[in-house]
Amino acid sequence: MSEAEARMEMVRFDAAVVAAEGELLAIQDRVRRTLGEDEAEVFEVQILLMRDVELRDAVRALCFDKRMNAQAAVDEEIKQLSVLFASLDDAYFRERASDLHDVGRRLLDQLAQGGQPISPELPDGCVVVTSDLLASVVAQLEGRSVRALIVEKGGLTTHATILARSLGIPMLVHVPNACEQIRNGDLVIVDALAGRIFLNPEAEVVDKYAQLQVDLQVHRSALKDLVDLPAITLDDVAIKLSANVGQTADAVAAASVTAEGVGLYRTEFVFMVQDHFPSEDEQYNFYRSTAEHLPPGETVIRVLDVGSDKPLNYFPLPREGNPALGCRGMRLLFANPTILHSQLRAILRLSASHPVAILLPMIDGLDERRAAKAAIKQVKADLATAGQSFNPRIRIGTMIETPSAAILVRQLADEVDFFSVGSNDLVQFLLAADRISEEMVSTYDPLHPAVIQVLARLVRTAARKGKPISLCGEIGSDPVYTKLLIGLGFRSLSVSPGRLLDIKHAIRSTRWCDAEDLARRVLQSSSTSDIRALVLDDWHRRSPVPSPPVEPRTSARHS
Ligand code: PEP
Ligand code: MG
């Protein structure tokens, strides 16, 4: 077996782990619903064993040093570990030997079958090429071994992209004519970091990418050293680093990188994977099971923000010419009070046992904020009458993602417990540039001076009013922006769990006083390209970061 083939064996091993983990998560979910939380916990251990870096390293060594194929390497390593576990004095570890055995069998099944195809149209390890992609479709890919997504339309902050990022599926958007040029059976390499596609590449390119993939894995393993270290700058300024989650896999990922709680729980993904509106009890169970996977800390649950690029198949919305400016978020909930009330009841019931807060999306000003508060008050009264317990002092926050809310931040501060800046929408509305339009990819620019000035003002005002403010939009998950955001005054970021360690690394490589200096220079500039030059120049001059940067605006891509 050549070295390149050994690399391909590792690629197969990684795909088998992803597919097997998906199977386990699905089983865990079923067990949780039918048998309960304790029984479901067993699968947690198996997922951890399967994801263990040491298992991967051992399999890798066998593939490379002994030239074994992935099946033989897994078989060998699991046998050795089982013997070791079984011989230990500690009863807990002895019992884990049977979990290991199970993990081994599952991985071998996956490797033998090349993974269970999710459907005839999506074979294991495939790259999906499509003209458009909805978030609800991406939500169904959880646990399936789709290697990459190539989409003709779309932008970097569409919900399909956000979800793919959180599932760790590389995705390239804005690839014109992809469906015409790429055919079934073609060999495709998707380099989502560089924004490149290789169609039926030469053997040297395949070799190069097999090596790059291994390097990326090494980089990710190196970042793991940061898991238990605090998110502090070089001069000891602490940044709260919490996670954005939307599904159980995110919750597990957030816990594995010890996020400080959840700054944004997008509940719409819970609704998207259903074929009906989940009942209050179903929602309560979903939220509770997600909360139970999370690390200690507060979970900020955002009420349903469907509409625009997050439709629900079972809830057709009126056709609108401009859905991003239409009936979505709180507006849609106010128009459908039964949906709002059942969700608030589920969240409030959870607040009796878990530290949760409520976040209101797409608020446009004080009237909507007050109407939402009145709805929460009503639901609290109903629950109290029914003898249901809840936290009467549950914190209620407001997203700042409309220009009107940004303008009214001072007045809103008197009525909210905290703010969360939704830069994805805020940028689109400030710049009148559709976040999901491929035509707007270069116009939709978070480094526009108007955006930067608004962000600076939001932080200043919230600080003056003593109200906590965090940022949960995608710029928070891109290390290129980290120093600028710190310099602008953000002390709390909520980021994609898969990027959390990259962001922690960026924080730990930043000196707060330098960040302030960068923000000062950026604020003095009124040109987007000058600001980009400042930010990128600063990024490239920093000490080497073991992470391939996702630079803003160079192309439509993400990893
Ligand atoms: C945002 O707009 O930045 C945000 C976090 O909300 P979403 O991306 O879900 O619209
Ligand atoms: Mg938003």
Give the tens place of pLDDT for each residue, 23-69: 778 777 766 776 677 667 777 877 888 888 888 889 999 888 888 88
Arithmetic mean of pLDDT, 460-480: 97
Q: Where are the alpha helices (DSSP H) in 489-552?
A: 500-508, 512-524, 528-541
Answer whether 380 contacts ligand 1 (Cβ < 6 A): no
pLDDT in tens, 189-214: 998 877 889 999 888 888 888 888 88
Pocket test for ligand 1, best of 162, 398, 425, 444 (most atoms within 8 A of CB): 425
Is the model's pLDDT at 264 over the cut of 50? yes
Answer whether 422 contacts ligand 1 (Cβ < 6 A): yes
Atom of ligand 1 nearest to the CA of 361: 6
Q: Which phi-psi region, left, alpha or beta, contains residue 420 (left: φ > 0; alpha: ψ -120 to 50)?
A: beta
Answer whether 473 contacts ligand 1 (Cβ < 6 A): yes
pLDDT for residue 217: 80
pLDDT for residue 121: 60
Q: Which residues of 336-347 are buried (b: 16+ CB within 10 A; e: fewer)?
A: eeebbbbbbbbb
pLDDT for residue 303: 97
Print the SS3 string covering 237-303: CECEEEEEECCHHHHHHHHHCCCCCEEEEECHHHHHCCCCCCCHHHHHHHHHHHHHHCCCCCEEEEC
How many A from CA of 288 to the centre of ligand 1?
22
Check if 179 is active-site.
Answer: no
Pocket test for ligand 1, best of 472, 474, 493 (most atoms within 8 A of CB): 472
pLDDT for residue 343: 97
Arithmetic mean of pLDDT, 115-122: 45
Atom of ligand 1 nearest to the CA of 244: 5
Answer whether 77 contacts ligand 1 (Cβ < 6 A): no
pLDDT for residue 31: 67
Atom 8 of ligand 1, residue of closest alpha carbon: 424
Pocket test for ligand 1, best of 401, 469, 471 (most atoms within 8 A of CB): 401
d(Cα 445, Cα 428) in Å, to the nearest integer?
9
d(Cα 429, Cα 404) in Å, to the nearest integer?
10
Q: Which residue has the higher pLDDT, 520 or 146?
A: 520
Q: Nearest CA to 149 among 125, 129, 119, 121?
A: 129
If pLDDT is split at 50, 70 and 90, which confidence band does 380 have? very high
Is the model's pLDDT at 118 over the cut of 80? no
pLDDT for residue 117: 34
Pocket test for ligand 1, best of 159, 245, 331, 424 (most atoms within 8 A of CB): 424
Q: Nearest CA to 532 among 442, 424, 434?
A: 442
Is the model's pLDDT at 357 over the cut of 90? yes
In the chain, how many H helices and how many E strands? 23, 14
Arithmetic mean of pLDDT, 403-417: 98
Answer whether 401 contacts ligand 1 (Cβ < 6 A): yes
The rounded mean pLDDT for the chain is 86
Q: Which residue has the higher pLDDT, 256 or 544?
A: 256
Answer whether 423 contacts ligand 1 (Cβ < 6 A): yes
pLDDT for residue 543: 61
Q: Which residue has the higher pLDDT, 486 or 554?
A: 486
Answer whether 425 contacts ligand 1 (Cβ < 6 A): yes
Check if 472 is active-site.
Answer: yes
Q: Crossing angle for the helix pair 248-256 and 37-51, nearest 10 degrees?
A: 60
pLDDT for residue 34: 64
Atom of ligand 1 nearest to the CA of 421: 3
Is the model's pLDDT at 241 over the cut of 80? yes
Is the model's pLDDT at 547 over the cut of 50? no
Closest ligand to C-alpha of residue 162 is 1
Burial class (CB in 10 A: 0-12, 13-18, 19+), 276: exposed
Under DSSP, the state recorded for 151 is: E
Is the model's pLDDT at 553 over the cut of 60? no
Residues 6+ apart with CB under 8 A from 106: 20, 23, 24, 46, 50
Catalytic residue among 293, 354, 448, 472: 472
Q: How, if at all, do strands 492-495 and 557-558 pair?
A: unpaired
How many A from CA of 460 to the centre of ligand 2?
22
Q: Where are the alpha helices (DSSP H) in 87-175?
A: 91-113, 135-139, 159-167
If pLDDT is split at 50, 70 and 90, which confidence band does 130 have? confident
Residues 6+ apart with CB under 8 A from 338: none
Who surrounds ion ligand 2 at CB < 5 A?
401, 422, 425
| Cα dihedral 342, 348, 352, 358 in deg (nearest 10) | 140
d(Cα 159, Cα 134) in Å, to the nearest integer?
8
Atom of ligand 1 nearest to the CA of 473: 3
Q: Cβ distance 398 to 359 under 8 Å?
A: yes
Q: Which phi-psi region, left, alpha or beta, contains residue 299 (left: φ > 0; alpha: ψ -120 to 50)?
A: beta
Distances in Å between the alpha carbon of 24 and those of 52, 288, 326, 414?
Answer: 15, 19, 39, 46
384 residue type, one letter = A
Catalytic residue among 63, 159, 293, 354: 159
How many A from CA of 263 to the centre of ligand 2?
13
Q: How, if at all, do strands 469-471 and 127-130 pair?
A: unpaired
pLDDT in tens, 511-534: 999 999 999 999 999 999 999 999
d(Cα 423, Cα 399) in Å, to the nearest integer?
10
Arithmetic mean of pLDDT, 107-128: 67
Lowest mean pLDDT among 263-277, 399-413, 446-460: 263-277
Q: Cβ distance 395 to 358 under 8 Å?
A: yes
Instruction: Spell out the long-range contacts of 95-101 with Cβ–Cβ below 8 A and sequence spacing 24 or more.
Output: 96/45, 96/49, 99/42, 99/45, 99/46, 99/49, 100/49
With a pLDDT cut of 90, the percent of the chain lying above it is 47
pLDDT for residue 350: 97
Arithmetic mean of pLDDT, 412-432: 97
pLDDT for residue 403: 98
d(Cα 417, Cα 473) in Å, to the nearest integer?
19
* Sequence-ordered strand ranges (E) for 167-215: 171-172, 188-191, 196-199
Arithmetic mean of pLDDT, 489-518: 96
pLDDT for residue 123: 80
Give the tokens for residue 505.
Answer: 């690394």
Is the model's pLDDT at 539 over the cut of 50? yes
Q: Which residue has the higher pLDDT, 171 or 345?
A: 345
Closest ligand to C-alpha of residue 244 is 1
128 residue type, one letter = V
How many A from CA of 77 to the centre of ligand 1?
43
Burial class (CB in 10 A: 0-12, 13-18, 19+), 468: middle
How many A from CA of 423 to the centre of ligand 1?
7
Answer whether 266 contacts ligand 1 (Cβ < 6 A): yes
d(Cα 298, Cα 499) in Å, to the nearest integer?
20
